[in-house]
Structure 1
Amino acid sequence: MTIRDLLVHYAIKHKGDYFKIISAINKKEPVDYLLTSKQTLTILDEQYPKALRNLKYPPLVLFYKGNVELLNNQTCGIIGSRSVCDYASKMVHCVTEELKKKYTIVSGLAKGIDALAHQNSLTNQTIGVIGCGIDTIYPLENKELYEMMEHKHLILSEYPEQVAPLKHHFPWRNRIIAALSNFLVVVSAEQRSGTLTTVNAALDLSKDVYVIPYPNDNIYGKGCNQLIKDGAHLLMLEDIKFL
């Protein structure tokens, strides 16, 4: 039994919980029956993304489906709210159409902007980072998208099979999106949007954050406009080709 085997075992046993895995390692928790998973990357592996090592709490084990070689590509994170207005839908289409020519698109496989970013990138390459077990399709409306991505693209999770999509998982997922992305583009964000946790994670890593501006009366973009006021890069459609 190798140290890597132990790491995967603890990750499965403790359902991807970083602190429980660390505790199990420190206590040398006994192993009665070794738990395994075929498609994994561990922090001990050469192929483990260097960008993730910069996180305060880097995922110890990543479970995946699809083409793990995509982690070697130049990437762009495209994120936004689960609720989508016509303006946001148009913006995410314009942004992905241009950026997918040069970058592998990273997002969170959630409903709304995430799903649109992935769908618009299927003709090229895209990476989805999820906040539940690697075999769990959440939300169910993304079932077809998930099934397309698991074969020709890449789905990542620090949670093994049969782990539910718990609320506290998503900020942890967002830090991975931020770390894997060369830079972030925020397409929509309401005033109190979960999107902002990804932005904060990116800023902690000194990543550039570009934000689409919104009309002042559009509630789906109030978070975007605030980010621009706070110093994020304002991104006009005509400037996307220069990223």
Structure 2
Amino acid sequence: MKIEREAILWYAIQYDGDWKKIGNAIKAHEDYSIISYPYTYFTIVDDMYPDAFKRLRYPPWIIFYQGDIDLLKRKGIGIVGARNCSLEALQNTDTIVQRLKSKYVIVSGLAKGIDARAHLNADKTIGVLGCGINVIYPKENAYLYERMKKSGLILSEYPMHVKPLAYHFPWRNRLIAALSDNLVVIEATYKSGTMITVNECLELSVPIYW
């Protein structure tokens, strides 16, 4: 079944990036319109679609992005952990990123806590959002968002203006796992979003360091 990239964009906008609804629209050959869009994107039918995402059980139909798309061609290491973390965890993040940043692109989720600290210390970094590509969440990371648009890369499977709903974040963690050649968990509880990323990495046979 041939899918037009313009159709995927239309469905993504109509259904706020909901993976299942987009898939149903593709299957049903729903009508679509060709539109211009202010944010760059690639779809599952494009040549530039990363092999990393093809490994997923539910590969994203579309990815909106801002920044240096060539960072997807480099080896990445995921740095993840708690939002409300200890001072020791932040210090450990500083140390680990300093040691790894010359060899890897640092991948994380642009959340507060460990994520923000990892992005802050990285030279080249990829942030995966759980909200629209133009939505800054949390607001305290606005400076990181602006910096990463220029020297890093921001990704989201959600089109602009989509709110940061709670169920988006566990779902986006599969993308962090896919982009990680290795995963480092700094600090986390057993029942947390971080553990969802860990489980995704286990499914993808990505080495995990704790």
TM-score, with length taken from structure 2: 0.96
Is residue 2:141 matched to residue 1:142? Answer: yes
Greater CA radius of gyration, 1 or 2? 1
Q: 2: CA distance between counterparts of 1:138 and 1:127? A: 15
Higher relative contact order (CA 8 A, sep 6+): 2
Q: 2: CA distance between counterparts of 1:191 and 1:57? A: 24
Q: 1: CA distance between counterparts of 2:59 and 2:119? A: 24
SS in structure 1 of the partner of residue 209 of structure 2 = strand
Output aligned runs, 1:25-40, within 5 Å: 25-31=26-32, 33-37=33-37, 38-40=39-41
Aligned to 2:61: 60
Output aligned runs, 1:8-47, within 5 Å: 8-31=9-32, 33-37=33-37, 38-47=39-48
Output aligned runs, 1:83-102, within 5 Å: 83-102=84-103
Q: 2: CA distance between counterparts of 1:120 and 1:165? A: 25
Q: 2: CA distance between counterparts of 1:36 and 1:200? A: 38
RMSD: 1.1
Aligned to 1:155: 154
Aligned to 2:124: 125
TM-score, with length taken from structure 1: 0.83
Aligned to 1:214: none
For 2:14, the aligned partner's letter is: K
Percent identity of the aligned residues? 49
Q: 2: CA distance between counterparts of 1:200 and 1:182? A: 14
Aligned to 1:171: 170
For 2:105, the aligned partner's letter is: T
Q: 1: CA distance between counterparts of 2:130 and 2:70? A: 21
In structure 2, do the counterparts of structure 1 residues 36 and 168 end up closer, same or farther at CA, with 3 Å as the change threshold?
A: farther
Instruction: Kindly state the Cα deviation for residue 35 of structure 1 after the two structures are TM-superposed.
Output: 4.0
Confirm or deny: 8 A CA contact 1:12 1:35 kept in the other structure: no
Q: 2: CA distance between counterparts of 1:65 and 1:181? A: 19
Q: 1: CA distance between counterparts of 2:181 and 2:75? A: 7
Is residue 2:124 matched to residue 1:104? Answer: no
Confirm or deny: 8 A CA contact 1:13 1:35 kept in the other structure: no
For 1:44, the aligned partner's letter is: V
Q: Deviations over 1:31-74 (max 9, x none)?
A: 2x434434001111111110110111100000000010100001
For 2:72, the aligned partner's letter is: L
For 1:144, the aligned partner's letter is: Y
Instruction: Kindly state the Cα deviation for residue 157 of structure 1 after the two structures are TM-superposed.
Output: 0.2
Q: 1: CA distance between counterparts of 2:193 and 2:44? A: 27
Instruction: Kindly state the Cα deviation for residue 134 of structure 1 after the two structures are TM-superposed.
Output: 0.2
Q: Deviations over 1:176-227 (max 9, x none)?
A: 000011010001102322110000001011110000xxxxxxxxxxxxxxxx
In structure 2, do the counterparts of structure 1 residues 23 and 36 end up closer, same or farther at CA, with 3 Å as the change threshold?
A: farther
Across the two proteins, how many residue pairs are aligned to each other?
207
Aligned to 2:182: 183
Unaligned runs of 5+ in 1: 212-243
Q: 2: CA distance between counterparts of 1:86 and 1:141? A: 18
Unaligned runs of 5+ in 2: none
